[in-house]
Amino acid sequence: MSKLRPAGRFTYGLKRSTVLATLLSGLLLLLATGGIAWEALLRFNEPSTVNGSVVMIVAAVALVVNGLSAWNLMPGSRNDLNVRGAFLHLLSDAGVSAGVILSGALVMFTGWNWVDPLTSLLIAVFIGAGTWKLFSEAIALSMDAVPEGIDLTKIQDFLTRQPGVTGVHDLHVWAMSTTENALSAHLVIPDHTDPDKILAELGEGLHEQFEISHTTFQIESGSTPLPCLQTACDNQQSVS
């Protein structure tokens, strides 16, 4: 979906679908861990007999499959929030399998059936803690927050250091997708005889230093104050 070309009302295409997919992935993980925790609490009150050997065999197969799949996605999980969500899914499944193998062995050799729900609770806490960070970041991106890892102050400093730039305001950075970031800003350049050159240099510099691939600038001479909406003025950042 994210690779579909812009058309009609979707002038950016459907790039944001990667953020929505991450949001859904995090939500499903949180629901799954909640279900595991609830079932574990019920089993403390009503212990059930566990076949340790069967549990260990099935969990061992799952551990290998999920472990190899997670390892395959590990490189992409560093730069793509959506891939990170899939990676966490597989990693959590591998962790669950490892925990189940251990609990199955304890039950088989000791007969302690309470180990099974205890392991489930520990797994739920482990997965839930990692998932919450993913889920909260997906919510932030869906609200057009500055993507994690991008320092707005450094971008502001970079823009104001450019030759001819005397002011920067209405600076905004947001995620177009889990892999592409966008920026828009108003630049005060009193003498911009060659705006195309300035825009090209800014676009290249922002891409190399901050991994921002889509930039939009409005160039102003600064001779006449331009009106803006109150919400934009409240968030205005200026440098003289």
Q: Could you tell me the two tokens for 20?
A: 């929505």
In 3-state terms, what secondary structure has residue 109?
Answer: helix
Q: Could you tell me the two tokens for 75?
A: 């490189």
> Tokens 């591998």 appear where?
94
Burial 64-93 (b: 16+ CB within 10 A, else e): eebbebbeebeeebeebbbbbbbbbbbbbb
Other CB atoms within a 10 A radius of the CB of residue 127 amount to 23
| Per-residue confidence (pLDDT) for residue 185, from 0 to 100 | 92
Q: Could you tell me the two tokens for 228?
A: 């803006």
Which of 116-120, 144-148, 214-218 has the lowest average pLDDT?
A: 116-120
pLDDT tens-digit profile of 189-198?
877 667 778 8
H-helix or E-strand spanning residue 61? helix 52-77
**Averaged over 105-119, what is the pLDDT?**
82
Taking the C-alpha atoms of residue 205 and residue 207, their distance in angstroms, rounded to an integer, is: 5
Which of 6-20, 139-153, 170-184 has the lowest average pLDDT?
A: 6-20
Write down the number of H helices and E strands in the chain. 7, 3
Q: Where are the domains positioned within the chain?
A: 17-142, 152-234
- 214: β partners: 182
Taking the C-alpha atoms of residue 183 and residue 8, their distance in angstroms, rounded to an integer, is: 22
- Asked if the 17-142 domain carries CATH number 3.40.50.1820, the reply is no
Class of domain 152-234: alpha beta
